[in-house]
Amino acid sequence: MADETKPRSRTMRVLHGLWWLVDTGRRALLNLLLLAVIAAVAWTLLHRGPPPLADKTVLVVNPQGPVREQFSGSLRENALQKARGSELEQTRLRDLLTALDAGATDARITSALLVLDDFAGAGLPTLREVAAAVDRFRASGKKVVAWGSNYDQRQYYLAAHADEVWLHPMGGVEISGYGGRRTYFKDALEQLGVTAHVVRAGRFKNAAETLAASGPSPETEEADRELYDGLWADYTAAVEHARRLPAGSLAQAIAELPERLAAAGGDPAKLAAREGLIDAMKTRDQLRAALIARGERDGESFRQIGFADYAARFTPPAAGPAVAVVVAEGPIVDGEAGPGTVGGLSTAALVRRARDDDSVRAIVLRVNSPGGSAFGSELIRRELELARSAGKPVVVSMGDVAASGGFWISTSADEIVADPATITGSIGVIAVLPTAERALERLGLNTEGYRTSWAVDAYDPRTPLDPRMEQVLQSTIGHVYGQFLDRVAAARKTTPERIDEIGQGRVWSGAQARVRGLVDRSGGLRDALAVAAARAKLAPGYRVKYMEKAPGRAERLMAWFGGLGVSALQPALDAALPPPLPAPLAELKQQTAWLLQASEGRRPAAMAHCECAAP
């Protein structure tokens, strides 16, 4: 029996070995083929260019959501949004400007169409940047048409700069003015047993007023009145000039709105036509037909290209002398932060990268921030100071808001360029310490324990605020305010006493700030770039290099494939999203976001923050 099974066993081993070789070879071959396919797809995606652009193409400028200096959220979050089948609900300012300026000199682009229904707005300085680009496009001899189903105040600012403004027959133009009500939470917090203790330096520093008061202070009313009246005069003058309307006609129309609307039969579109705000009423299909007649048909519509796709065709050169742009947009925090928030460490690192880059000859800091952490602001300011010491000019370009900490980081600039409507200033410091001892009492909760000194729990939100802690914090806030005054005084070549007179936490428009010596000149980002290039003695043709944090491998892969397959997770994603908060609670969360960030370590922090936003 043993002799009969041996040969059979050897045969089986040979056959098994042969099968292993065949199977391994098959797998290796399939893997190689798969890798070859992936490599081919990757090469195609990386090297394929955009389809050729035909003549008589209309540039469609249809911004989605708010216009920002940079996309907020990570590449991964944006890819997830696309995977859900929705558009990215934000627009980058530089893409709008690139598309309009490139289209002005592109013979294949014959006109532009502004479709503003999905535009969620921006501050007046940003609106002015886009409107100026529209004007440059028109100056090239090309027509611009604006169309909307309904124009709000910000949308209409852009539409007014078009050659023709068209409106849906059932639409209207809603222009009302600036300002509005704030919600004050003191009484509600007291009912919950919570007290917001506010320590501040600056009579006008009202960043926490809504938490600690039942209504606006006289200082807040005074500052708001002067600020908003100035911005409103700026807005109305610009629109009346663009539409060739008599000065004061917008304010008069608003004052007599009930009577004028009644005379128009209650028809808002007819009223807009009577007031000279629009040129024609057209439905969407009539819009398409009119543009087909003026240009070329492409399928069921006119030949067109979206501004984002068009802007993507233009990539800045990778070599040559450059002016670096570092964007500081959003509240300022101490450490690392992604787009939409200014991290003291991460933004300082971007400035340092620009300083160490031999191709960068000058730096423009684009500020659109209400401030935040004084320490985070100082980290950024110091890096800018080092860049200047290294021989690289630094120019600050102020966007919609550059207040408090946003002004602090601007004090290391050789020159500050601000739009006349930029909200700036707010030179002051604040700290907020909420305590909820009465809430605990109502619940029957007591707190006690041994401490080697009163300072162990000098600030504990479960107990009343120790007066000694309040005194310590007031001294600290006063010291930080003194540093703030010294920094601004040195930058503006004046005395701390003079800065204290115009500081005190008060906000100013860019025009008001220039009169008071807080900024050097009026203008936008293009002006700041030109100033930086001139200071660096750069010839025309220099490149603009945005310094931004490089995405990680996972983010790049997610963005590359556009979130493929992620849509399968839609039910789980939807289930994870919290329901929307009631309006007052949502407002409280928004207004105290900076406070929550500052208090994560359970320590009071000096905040150079302004409760202000672009109107």
Q: Are residues 292 and 412 in the same domain?
A: no
Q: At a CB cut-off of 8 Å and minimum separation 6, what does 153 contact? A: 174, 175, 176, 235
Q: Note the pLDDT of residue 598.
A: 47
State the CB neighbour count (10 A cutoff) for residue 603. 9
Q: At a CB cut-off of 8 Å and minimum separation 6, what does 376 contact? A: 332, 333, 334, 335, 342, 343, 344, 345, 405
Q: Are residues 478 and 531 in the same domain?
A: yes
Sign of torsion over alpha carbons 446, 452, 453, 455: negative
Q: Note the pLDDT of residue 294.
A: 93
| Angle made by CA atoms 498, 503, 507, in degrees to the nearest 5 | 140
- Domain ranges, residue 326: 322-430+466-550+590-609
Q: Is the pLDDT of residue 602 over 90?
A: no
Separation of alpha carbons 141 and 303, rounded Å: 19
Separation of alpha carbons 350 and 326, rounded Å: 7
Name the CA dihedral angle for 261, 267, 273, 277, rounded to a multiple of 10 degrees: 70
Segment holding 121, helix H or strand E: strand 119-121
**Looking up tokens 């990215």, which residue turns up?**
88
Residue 148 located in a structural domain: yes
For residue 360, list its beta bridge partners. 322
| Each residue's pLDDT tens digit, 164-205 | 999 999 999 999 999 998 999 999 988 989 888 888 898 999
Number of helical H runs and strand E runs in the chain: 25, 25
Beta strands 543-546 and 322-329, pairing class: parallel
Q: Are residues 473 and 381 in the same domain?
A: yes
Q: Note the pLDDT of residue 606.
A: 72
| Each residue's pLDDT tens digit, 277-288 | 999 999 999 999
Q: Is the pLDDT of residue 413 over 70?
A: yes
| Each residue's pLDDT tens digit, 226-257 | 999 999 999 999 999 999 999 999 999 999 99
Q: Are residues 349 and 416 in the same domain?
A: yes
- Select from 291, 312, 333 the last residue of a domain: 312
Residue 205 catalytic?
yes
What pTM was estimated for this model as a whole? Answer: 0.83
**Looking up tokens 């099968």, which residue turns up?**
19
Residue 9 catalytic?
no
Residue 574 located in a structural domain: no
Q: Are residues 286 and 419 in the same domain?
A: no
Q: Are residues 475 and 381 in the same domain?
A: yes
Q: Are residues 303 and 365 in the same domain?
A: no
- Select from 312, 333, 366 the last residue of a domain: 312
| Each residue's pLDDT tens digit, 249-266 | 999 999 999 999 999 999
**Looking up tokens 């400007």, which residue turns up?**
97
Which band of pLDDT confidence, cut at 50, 70 and 90, is reported for residue 23? confident
Q: Note the pLDDT of residue 18.
A: 72
| Each residue's pLDDT tens digit, 54-113 | 999 999 999 999 999 998 865 455 455 554 445 558 999 999 999 999 999 999 999 999
Q: For the chain, give the percent of residues with pLDDT over 90.
A: 64
First to last CA, the chain: 98
Q: Are residues 300 and 326 in the same domain?
A: no
In whole angstroms, how large is the CA radius of gyration of the chain?
Answer: 30
How far CA 581 is from CA of 570, 585, 589, 592, in Å, comes to: 22, 6, 9, 15
Residue 546 located in a structural domain: yes
Q: Note the pLDDT of residue 289.
A: 96
Residue 522 located in a structural domain: yes
- DSSP-derived secondary structure for 298-334: ETTEE-EEEHHHHHTT----SSS-EEEEEEEES-EES
Q: Is the pLDDT of residue 370 over 80?
A: yes
- Which comes out higher in pLDDT, residue 576 or 304? 304
Q: Is the pLDDT of residue 574 over 60?
A: no
Q: Is the pLDDT of residue 593 over 70?
A: no
- Which comes out higher in pLDDT, residue 469 or 45? 469
Please answer whether residues 281 and 168 qualify as being in contact, where contact means their C-beta atoms are separated by less than 8 angstroms: yes
Q: Are residues 404 and 284 in the same domain?
A: no
Which of 369, 377, 397, 404 is the catalytic position? 404
Q: For the chain, give the percent of residues with pLDDT over 70.
A: 84
Residue 189 located in a structural domain: no
Q: Is the pLDDT of residue 129 over 60?
A: yes
Residue 345 located in a structural domain: yes
**Average model confidence (pLDDT) across the chain:** 86
Residue 481 located in a structural domain: yes
Looking at residue 63, which CATH number applies to its domain? 3.90.226.10
Q: Are residues 287 and 407 in the same domain?
A: no
**What is the count of structural domains for the chain?**
2
Residue 122 located in a structural domain: yes
- DSSP-derived secondary structure for 230-254: HHHHHHHHHHHHHTTPPTTHHHHHH
Which band of pLDDT confidence, cut at 50, 70 and 90, is reported for residue 31? confident
Q: Note the pLDDT of residue 551.
A: 60
Which band of pLDDT confidence, cut at 50, 70 and 90, is reported for residue 411? very high
Q: Are residues 508 and 419 in the same domain?
A: yes
Mean pLDDT across the stretch 30-36?
Answer: 72
- Select from 264, 290, 312 the last residue of a domain: 312
Q: Is the pLDDT of residue 548 over 80?
A: yes
Q: Note the pLDDT of residue 39.
A: 62
Which of 416-420, 521-525, 583-587 is predicted least confidently? 583-587
Q: Are residues 419 and 513 in the same domain?
A: yes
Mean pLDDT across the stretch 505-534?
Answer: 97
Which band of pLDDT confidence, cut at 50, 70 and 90, is reported for residue 37? low
Q: Is the pLDDT of residue 584 over 80?
A: no
Separation of alpha carbons 90 and 94, rounded Å: 12
Which of 142, 205, 282, 392 is the catalytic position? 205
Segment holding 525, helix H or strand E: helix 525-535
Q: Is the pLDDT of residue 137 over 50?
A: yes
